[in-house]
Copies of this chain bind each other. A is one copy, B any other.
Amino acid sequence: MATTGEATTTNKRVILRDYVTGFPKESDLIFNDTTIDLKIPAGSTTVLLKNLYLSCDPYMRIRMGKPDPSTAALAQAYNPGEPIYAFGVSKVIDSGHPDYTIGELIWGVVGWEEYTTFTPTPNSHHFKIQHTDIPLSYYTGLLGMPGMTAYAGFYEICSAKKGETVFVSAASGAVGQLVGQLAKIMGCYVVGSAGSNEKVDLLKKKFGFDEAFNYKEEPDLDAALKRCFPEGIDIYFENVGGNMLDAVLLNMKIHGRVAVCGMISQYNLENQEGVHNLPTVLYKRIRIQGFVVSDYFHKYSEFLDFVLPYLREGKIAYVEDVVEGLENGPSALIGLFHGKNVGKQLILVARD
Contacts and interface: CB of A to CB of B under 8 A. Distances in A.
A283 B70 contact: yes
A2 interface: no
Interface string A255-270: 0000011110011000
Nearest to A251: B70
B263 A278 contact: yes
A254 interface: yes
A279 interface: yes
A290 B295 contact: no
Nearest to A294: B285
A277 B272 contact: yes
B295 A282 contact: no
A162 interface: no
A271 B295 CA distance: 38
A289 interface: yes
A276 B274 contact: yes
A197 interface: no
A71 interface: yes
A287 to B, nearest CB: 5
Contacts of A295: 285
Contacts of A74: 282-284
A1 interface: no
A281 B254 contact: no
A286 B73 CA distance: 11
A292 interface: yes
11 contacts: A70-B283, A73-B254, A74-B282, A263-B282, A274-B276, A281-B288, A282-B290, A282-B291, A286-B289, A286-B290, A288-B288
